[in-house]
């Protein structure tokens, strides 16, 4: 049995050969899988870096700061950030600065290597409003050097002052869209026609009121940390459609000369001056919230009627007096850049009876509105 062997069937070798060819063939890796193998670790690394970069609740922030000096260092020369009269220190800064500040005068060191005795600088005194008295702040023009803890203290005070005094002025441009609801058709118009027949429009039924649209520009001024006032110039267009007829009356005889019936389009144009008072609820770096109350005085520029008939008749009448309204609302502003933001002001406005021509304001004096625009501050 030394050279004995078993004959292998041909089908067995064919199967083994097929497996060997299959193993030797290069594997084709899909393109998406190759991208995923690189993109997933990269995304995880970026997310981990962002997570580690975010400030923790225990780190120093606007409401808490720590100054740690690891070893004695030469005194740092602090540049004149602002004049002492302009720095407004918060109560929390005064509490942390209650410890005396060690000041080392230039040229007082001993040549033998011994340190000159340090003098204690007085703690800045404040008045009732929290402002630093000029007499209580050391004179920086005399060449004195301040330690690094006072440098950090003044830098934080300077940053706080810039944050509270930023954006004194605002310039805004936007548009306002109000509801047109379902105005009451039984409300009496304040411009009644005279009992004597006159040339004009006689209204019928099937009234439809368009959505009031307002555009305007304005400027605001912040006169207190949380209060600001704004004013500007607005343009408003009011429209409505109804069935009616135009009647022309002879001024001498008082008889009807001409009558044209059809669909009547009425367009009124107003120009107004608003005055708003804003209270700033939150002034964040990205989002600012506020509430406001104010009023607007408007004057009608034109009141035109067009009859869609064969002759396309156009007629207008003058409107006397002004339209007065009052508004109350909330607003939010999303900062695009430190000086430019997009704002949205939802509000409720009421138009007082002022003997104006019939419009959606006289039929539905209380309406909700939404003003959207851009606000540039500096």
Q: Is 206 left (phi over 0), alpha (psi -120 to 50) or beta?
A: left
Radius of gyration of the chain (CA): 39
- What is the mean predicted confidence (pLDDT) over 283-296? 94
- Cα separations (Å) of 29 from 32, 33, 42, 356? 9, 7, 20, 77
Instruction: Say which residue, 273 or 313, is predicted with more confidence.
Output: 273
- What is the mean predicted confidence (pLDDT) over 91-118? 48
The Cα diameter of the chain in Å comes to: 146
Position 79 scores a pLDDT of: 46
Mean pLDDT of the chain: 74
CA–CA distance, 189 with 207 (Å, rounded to integer): 14
Work out the percent of the chain whose per-residue pLDDT is above 90.
35
Q: Structure pTM? A: 0.57
Q: Which domains does the chain have, with CATH numbers?
A: 84-108+115-164 (no CATH), 169-377 (2.40.160.20)
The least confident of 67-71, 245-249, 374-378 is 67-71
Cβ neighbour number for residue 329 with a 10 Å cutoff:
19
Query: Please, which pLDDT band fits residue 223 given cuts at 50, 70 and 90?
Result: very high
Position 142 scores a pLDDT of: 47
Query: Please, which pLDDT band fits residue 184 given cuts at 50, 70 and 90?
Result: low
- What is the mean predicted confidence (pLDDT) over 315-330? 94
Give residue for tokens 């290069």. 26
Query: Please, which pLDDT band fits residue 106 given cuts at 50, 70 and 90?
Result: very low
Residue 181 has pLDDT above 60, yes or no: yes
Most confidently modeled range among 77-81, 204-208, 368-372: 368-372
The least confident of 149-158, 281-290, 347-356 is 149-158
Give the residue from 334, 343, 349 showing the smallest Cα distance to 371: 343
Residue 67 has pLDDT above 50, yes or no: no
Residue 86 has pLDDT above 60, yes or no: no
Position 186 scores a pLDDT of: 46
Structure token pair of residue 30: 């899909």
């Amino acid at each position: 049995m030394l050279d004995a062997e078993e004959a292998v069937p041909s089908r067995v070798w064919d199967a083994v050969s097929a497996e060997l060819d299959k193993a030797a063939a290069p594997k084709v890796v899909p393109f998406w899988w190759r991208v995923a193998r690189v993109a997933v670790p990269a995304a995880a690394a970026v997310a981990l870096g962002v997570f580690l970069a975010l400030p923790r609740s225990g780190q120093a922030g606007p409401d808490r700061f720590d100054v740690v000096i690891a070893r004695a260092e030469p005194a740092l020369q602090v540049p004149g950030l602002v004049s002492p009269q302009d720095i407004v220190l918060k109560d929390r800064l005064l509490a942390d600065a209650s410890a005396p500040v060690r000041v080392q005068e230039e040229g007082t060191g001993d040549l033998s290597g011994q340190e000159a005795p340090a003098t204690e600088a007085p703690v800045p005194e404040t008045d009732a409003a929290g402002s630093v008295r000029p007499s209580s702040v050391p004179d920086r023009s005399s060449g004195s050097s301040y330690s690094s803890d006072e440098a950090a203290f003044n830098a934080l005070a300077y940053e706080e002052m810039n944050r509270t005094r930023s954006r004194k002025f605002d310039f805004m441009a936007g548009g306002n869209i109000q509801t047109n609801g379902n105005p009451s058709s039984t409300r009496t118009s304040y411009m009644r026609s005279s009992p004597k027949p006159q040339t004009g429009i006689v209204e019928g039924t099937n009234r439809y009121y368009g959505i009031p649209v307002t555009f305007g520009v304005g400027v605001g001024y912040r006169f207190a940390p949380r209060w600001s006032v704004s004013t500007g110039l607005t343009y408003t267009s009011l429209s409505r459609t109804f069935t009616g007829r135009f009647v022309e009356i002879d001024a001498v005889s008082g008889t009807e000369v001409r009558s044209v019936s059809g669909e009547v389009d009425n367009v009124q144009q107003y120009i107004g001056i608003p005055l708003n008072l804003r209270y700033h609820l939150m002034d964040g770096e990205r989002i600012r919230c506020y509430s406001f109350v104010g009023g607007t005085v408007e004057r009608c520029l034109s009141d035109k009627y067009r009859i869609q008939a064969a002759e396309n008749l156009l007629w207008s009448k003058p409107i006397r007096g002004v339209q007065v309204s009052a508004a109350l609302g909330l607003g939010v502003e999303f900062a695009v850049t430190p000086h430019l933001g997009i704002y949205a002001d939802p509000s409720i406005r009421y138009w007082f009876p002022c003997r104006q021509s019939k419009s959606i304001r006289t039929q539905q004096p209380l309406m909700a509105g939404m003003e959207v625009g851009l606000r540039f501050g500096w």
